[in-house]
Amino acid sequence: MLCLAPPRLLVNKAALNAVASPDTGAADTLYTFLTQRFVGSYQMLDCASLIDVPDPISVKTDAKGVAISATTSREVLSQDIQKLAPHKAEDDHEDSSARSRQSSL
């Protein structure tokens, strides 16, 4: 999640900011919607503690709690990815195994 989502969000930021949010009560654009969903998932899954790396994305909300902007620290993201790099082969193997089990159902 950490190694894929934030880089993809950054690459597509302009296009995602040009599209309305699917839930205007949660965010003002598709970009802020996706980033606030990432941050929420990261927090609910307790990723920072489990993998000992901080969330590189921070979201700013308005007075009603609607996400209106998001910032990704490229420095933190780069450090996070580097820290997780030694585990990439194992993660890829587990992902592949999980996909194989799903396709056989």
DSSP secondary structure, 25-58, as one string: TTBSBHHHHHHHHHHHHHHHTTHHHHH----SEE
- Taking the CB of residue 16, how many other CB atoms lie within 10 A of it? 19
Domain, as residue range, for 56? 5-103
CA distance 19 to 28: 9
Distance of CA 26 to the CA centre of its chain: 16
| Whole-angstrom distance, CA of residue 67 vs CA of residue 53 | 23
Q: What is the pLDDT of residues 36-82, one digit of tens each?
A: 999 999 999 999 999 999 999 999 999 999 999 999 999 999 999 99
Q: In terms of pTM, does the model score above 0.95?
A: no
Structural domain total, the chain: 1
